[in-house]
Chains A and B, each alone.
Chain A
Amino acid sequence: MNSNYLALLPVFIFMISMLAVSVFLRKSNAKKESQGFVKEYFIGSRSLGGFVLAMTTVATYSSVSSFVGGPGQAWSIGFGWIYMSVVQVTALFLVLGVLGKKMAIVARKIDAVTVIDVIRHRYQSDVVASISALIIVLFFSATMVAQFVGGAKLFEAVTGYSYLVGLCVFGLVVVIYTTVGGFRGVAITDTICSIVMLFGMFLLMAGVLKQGGGYEHIMEQIAVNKPEMLEPFSGGNMPLTLYISQWMLVGIFTIGLPQSVVRNLSYKDTKSLHRAIIIGTIVVGAMNIGMNFIGVISQGILPEGLDAYGNSVDNIIPLAIAKSLPPLLAGITIIGPIAASISTISSLLLSSTSSIIKDVYLYEKAKRGSAVSENRAKSFSQLCNLILGLAIFAISINPPDVIWKINMFAFGGLESAFVWVFLLGLFWKKANKTGAFWSMACGTVVYCAAMLFGFKIAGIHQILIGISVALVAMIIGSYFGKKTDQETLDIYF
């Protein structure tokens, strides 16, 4: 593999431009900041248009695994993996179409800046809000570490520079630009990241097709060597239960992921939301089909067994990049997955900071009746973001095993905790504090326990257990708990 500056240069230039964009946005929106720092910093003063809303939601949602782990699986499973991944086209219209407008109306009315503001108000409970903050910060932090590690490993594999160099090149910069740019910076850089991801994807697709001797040749080779890749069940490697699991985990229940739901507080008007649903659905589909398709056709240039490639499907895409493209183009292509990783990190980092500053610090201060000056909120928010970001960065240098466990639990854990709290909170009058508390607590704990012990029902992923327990707990709790007061309900129904 190439260890020369040509492979390093594109990523370096890209990261510097992300930083420049954030500084520029911060400067040019200084006026809005003076009208309310917290709202501008954490939610961009509710001014996102349709295109940016779509792209930032997609970018947050597509992580480094959409670009590395997923397509690696597609290389091994075949077309079944693309067929599975396409279920993600439902993600955008569910989170924006079902929750979008009500969240936006309520947020404007109660002046909410974070999803926890809405949860605290709807359920009139500090305990439920604090548990939400804890779950969010814990799972988000582990996910961020995984994104850092994934991006840096890829960097190492493609450029030949060390893991630590990679981590520094993009890790430090993403922490700084998120701190400088706030939500508006995150949204705009996310949008640029999405475009770069698509560009990198087409570049790599062209490279692999050329190197593999054309599509026809690659497909003939697959038909001879691995015909099971052409079947939906991939000769038993892709059972029906896996399809059902993925429908739930990465399709339907992504509706409850707080990092997506928070976007509903940030857009300008209903027209923007409508546009975002259409654009987002187009882009999510293109990205998932495109990237996993690259995985499948990589068979054309990497035809041997997995043991020839280090026994990990995570090595497939880095090898495909290095094998099919000259150093400079390879350097440009890895901006795609790096962009996927940093756009997820930036959003999660800012959401975590907002939970700590807005939902814990500012809330507790207000409760005790002590005012926090605008300047103080400003410096604390940025400082907190920087420290948290640097801490995550430091952990990523040599992450302990427990982080991987938490990361594995994060996606389904967040879904189990929040799906019903959001969905029933906004559409079921009877949902109350008791229901929300037990739904969140039981859903998360039972889900994590089931994951830990590998306990499944009918061979379907543990998300089924987590979501079911959370639903039952919400319903039972709500029937036994005290009814939410009418004044609060009047805002939601």
Chain B
Amino acid sequence: MNRKQKYGQIKREAIACFWALVAIIVFWTISGLGVSQLNITIFHTPLWAITGCIGTWIFSVILVIWLVKYVFKAFSLDDEEESPEMEGADEQ
């Protein structure tokens, strides 16, 4: 990857993070405030508390794993011209 491609990739990753944030906000709202309208209780705990807290957490973890796996790319942080040997090391 040359510098221009890297910066393009960084921009894509930043935009993906923004959409991930939006997705988490939507999930959080529905799984918490939304589910609380149902008035369901399981294991002596209101359902919204489980889906809104633990649910949002698990959703976020799955989302960042997906981001890192499919959107984020590994590349050398140094300039290629200066250290061409780094390139190979990062492209596994």
Contact = CB atoms under 8 A, between A and B. Distances in A.
Chain B associates with chain A = yes
Interface of A: 79, 82-83, 86-87, 89-90, 92-94, 97-98, 101-102, 104-105, 108-109, 215-216, 219-220, 223, 230-232, 247, 252, 269-271, 274, 277-278, 281-282, 285-286, 289, 427, 493
Contacts of A271: 74, 90
Given A108-B77, A232-B32, A247-B25, A82 B53 contact: yes
Interface string B43-74: 11110110011101100110011011000111
Which of A89, A104, A108, A223 has the largest count of B CB atoms less than 10 A from its CB? A89
Interface residues of B, number: 45
Given A109-B79, A289-B54, A219 B45 contact: yes
A87 B44 contact: no
Nearest to A79: B49
B20 interface: yes
Contacts of B61: 89, 278, 281-282, 285
Contacts, number: 116
Nearest to B48: A232
B14 interface: yes
Given A104-B77, A215-B44, A427-B11, 16 more contacts: A79-B45, A79-B48, A79-B49, A89-B56, A89-B61, A92-B64, A97-B17, A109-B79, A223-B44, A231-B36, A232-B48, A269-B74, A269-B90, A270-B75, A285-B61, A289-B54
B14 A98 contact: yes
Interface in B8-35: 10-11, 13-14, 16-18, 20-21, 24-25, 28, 32-33
6 contacts: A79-B48, A86-B57, A97-B13, A105-B3, A270-B73, A285-B60
Main secondary structure of the interface of A (DSSP, over half): helix
Contacts of A252: 21
Contacts of A219: 44-45
Given A79-B49, A87-B28, A269-B90, A93 B77 contact: no
A160 B73 CA distance: 53
B63 to A, nearest CB: 8
Nearest to A101: B10
Contacts of A101: 6, 10, 13, 77
B92 to A, nearest CB: 8
Given A87-B28, A89-B57, A232-B52, A270 B64 contact: no
Nearest to A109: B79
Nearest to B73: A270
A44 to B, nearest CB: 15
